[in-house]
Amino acid sequence: MSQSSVEQVPLTALQGITADAWQEISRACEEPDWVRDLRQKAWEAYVETPLPTLRDEDWRRTDYRELQLEDLLLYMPAGIEAACEADLPESLRSHSETGDDWGGMVVQVNSEIALTRLDETLQAQGVILAPLAQAVHTHPELVQPHLGRIVTPDDGKFPALHGAFFSGGIFCYVPPDTTVELPIQALVWMNAENIAVFPHVLLVADRGSQVTFVERYASPTLEAQSFSCPATEVVAKDGAQVRHVTIQDWGRHVIELGFQRLRVDNDGHLLTILAATGGKLVKNYVDNSFAGSGVEAFHRGFFFTDGTQHMDYKTMQDHLAPYSTSDLLIKGALRDRSRAVFTGVINVRKGSKRTDAYQENRNLLLSKRARSDSIPILEIDNDDVRCTHGSATGQVDQEELFYVMAHGLNKNDAARMLVEGFFSEVIQHTPLDGVQAQLAGKVQEKMAGWQVED
């Protein structure tokens, strides 16, 4: 393809995964050379990496061949101008407004940032919250050391694709020894069909800082397919305390293939919450990388599938240094003919002595036609460690059901109570009351119309 043919194609009509297409995005954003170089390297990796197929161990349970990547528009403007949250459409605000008091809010609509707001108190503390496309110009010294280096093109075909095509994007920086009292929310909203979005979140919590950050992916449900290929990079530097919440609530037309990596340095504290309820077909890597020693990491998450949803989450507790502790619990419930795959990896690298890692996955099959796979993987290259895992999948327990029914609740109400309790054990760790109530409400919503099977 020649240079001249590209210039006739407006950004809004970009279609087809080609070098010209990402170059057009880069050009339109007037990116510095180093960002363009990142895209170039990612593109090269993308071209060299074969598409994962059902023959790859990691992909053999998730068939994404329905994804029609070549037919999707690769850049879609926000089409929304918002000076403040009140200007945002009601459908979007029904997600972002939780009753919690937000210190900062960034909203990406499709491929563009529609709103960035940061409280003056946080600005005065030196906190930065900005569109990534802007931050690469204004704060290269903070962005360049991390962008594309936490999640890299080597992480796979889709991280590489993301690296070449990312657009919009959110950058958040918390200066050393700064405690951000109010939480920050990044919302990625998609309101068009037949599009592909490549949202990027880069959160850098500098030494000794504290921050609560919520990432939310949501959209209405539309007819035709849309594709989300996000990447999240989180860096918690020495002694930082990061509370990170990911809420995946896409509409039922969305295919998502995403990658998250959270790197924690010496003595960092990490709390993560994952809540996945949306999408048509979703596969996400959630990679927790304990690069420093003395890390304490606590992970809680849930997924809830219904209809014909397919969700595939692979978590990693990657212990690269000694004396760190990680504790992960993921719970899942499956309704109807839905399907879920959970793979939990604990990786204790050589030299990571005194690692204490725990992983548990519990799944509840709410229908005989639903299917779930739970795959624990322990890779331990060390002696002096403690690693344990547990996995259990089953239906609503008959004895528990009888116990609750004996207290006056009919079978469905009793089962609902048990399912809500099942999730509440995870949701209760969510740091924000409003978000916590919202997630509990989401579980109730997913239970609507459900009848316990005999």
Partner 1 sequence: MATEQPFFLIDDLHVEIEENEILRGVDLSVKRGEIHAIMGPNGSGKSTLAHTLMGHPSYEATAGQVLFNGEDILERDPNDRAKLGIFLAFQYPLAIPGVSTLNFLRTSLKAVKQEEISARQFRKHLLEKMDLLKISREFAGRYLNDGFSGGEKKRMEILQMAVLEPELAVLDEIDSGLDIDAIRAVGEGISSLMHPEMSIVIITHYPRILHYVRPDYVHIMVDGKIRQSGGFELAEELEAKGYDVLLKEVMQTSS
Give the binding site for partner 1 (CB under 8 A): 398-400, 402-411, 413-414, 417-418, 420-425, 428
Q: Smallest distance from the beta carbon of 433 to partner 1, in angstroms?
A: 16
Q: Smallest distance from the beta carbon of 418 to partner 1, in angstroms?
A: 7
In a 13 Å sphere around the CA of 71, the CA atoms on its Cβ side amount to 8
Nearer CB in complex with partner 1: 127/415:
415
Q: Smallest distance from the beta carbon of 45 to partner 1, in angstroms?
A: 43
Q: Smallest distance from the beta carbon of 335 to partner 1, in angstroms?
A: 18
In a 13 Å sphere around the CA of 89, the CA atoms on its Cβ side amount to 15
Which residues lie closer than 8 Å to 296 by C-beta, 6 or more apart? 268, 269, 270, 324, 325, 326
Q: How many CB atoms lie within 10 A of CB 145?
A: 11
Q: Smallest distance from the beta carbon of 442 to partner 1, in angstroms?
A: 15
Nearer CB in complex with partner 1: 134/424:
424
Nearer CB in complex with partner 1: 351/421:
421
Q: Smallest distance from the beta carbon of 326 to partner 1, in angstroms?
A: 22
The angle that helices 411-427 and 398-405 make with each other, rounded to 10 degrees, is 110
Nearer CB in complex with partner 1: 94/412:
412
The angle that helices 33-48 and 157-165 make with each other, rounded to 10 degrees, is 150
CA–CA gap between residue 242 and residue 264 (Å, rounded): 9
Closest CA to 357 of 391, 320, 324, 332: 324
The angle that helices 411-427 and 433-447 make with each other, rounded to 10 degrees, is 150
**Are 306 and 278 in contact, with CB atoms under 8 Å apart?**
no
> How distant, in Å, are the alpha carbons of 28, 303, 326, 424 from that of 344?
40, 14, 12, 21
Nearer CB in complex with partner 1: 375/405:
405
Q: Among positive and negative, which fits the CA dihedral 437, 169, 70, 37?
A: negative
Nearer CB in complex with partner 1: 2/398:
398
Two structure tokens written together for 219: 């959209």
Nearer CB in complex with partner 1: 105/418:
418
Q: Smallest distance from the beta carbon of 6 to partner 1, in angstroms?
A: 55
Nearer CB in complex with partner 1: 87/425:
425
Q: Smallest distance from the beta carbon of 329 to partner 1, in angstroms?
A: 11
Q: Smallest distance from the beta carbon of 407 to partner 1, in angstroms?
A: 4
Nearer CB in complex with partner 1: 290/423:
423
- Which DSSP letter does residue 88 get? S
348-385 burial code (b ≥16 CB/10 A, e <16): bbeebeebbbbbbbbbbbbbeebbbebebeeebebeeb
**Are 342 and 375 in contact, with CB atoms under 8 Å apart?**
yes
